[in-house]
Amino acid sequence: MRRYILTGTPGCGKTSIIRALEMTGASVVAEAATDIIAYKQMQGVAEPWKNEDFIDYIIRLQKHRQIDLSDKYSDLHFYDRSPICTYALSVYLGFEPSKNLMNEIERISNQNIYEYRVFFIDNLGFIENTNARKISFEESLKFEQIHKDAYKKFGYECINIPARPIEDRVKLILEHINDETS
């Protein structure tokens, strides 16, 4: 089973790429943070990312989804973010990485859960804000660098996927994977 992470700055097109990869028959996992934000906002918490427990909610949902997907039919899995992204988010928000987060990073490392080559989706040169994404383009570039630093810190190699049409980005990702297995 091969599990690949897609990461990058908010609004770079990860979710659209993940959906396109799903159409190829791969199994996919949606980003957890967006779902946690929506859930908390339905409960009346306007900015859930300001609460330290936000990180632990994300990490629990990511772990649950990763374990749940392990039983699925496809040998090729794509993840819209990972615990390393959650670490980067924790750093960006100014939170000390929680024990739960660090335990999950240790688990994914010890069990070799994800491929160590990560697809880093380059930004599009702009950002469109949503209820869950309230960040300026300038701040997103800082966040992007924090992601790159976090992946490097934990021993992952980032493969940059340049800003292009979705079909071209998907083709490039699949070519990298096919090159690995050839």
Tens-digit pLDDT string for the chain (182 aa): 899 999 998 889 998 999 999 999 888 888 888 889 989 999 999 889 988 898 898 888 888 888 776 656 678 899 999 999 999 999 999 999 999 999 999 999 999 999 999 999 999 989 887 766 778 899 899 999 999 999 999 999 999 999 999 999 999 999 999 887 66
| Apex 118 CA angle, 13 and 83, nearest 5 | 85
Confidence (pTM): 0.88
Question: What fold does the segment set 2-181 form as a domain?
Answer: Rossmann fold (3.40.50)
- The answer to whether 174 touches 108, Cβ cutoff 8 Å, is no
- Would you say the C-alpha torsion 52, 29, 16, 119 has a positive or negative sign? positive
Q: Classify residue 88 as exposed, middle or buried by CB count within 10 Å of its CB (0-12, 13-18, 19+).
A: buried
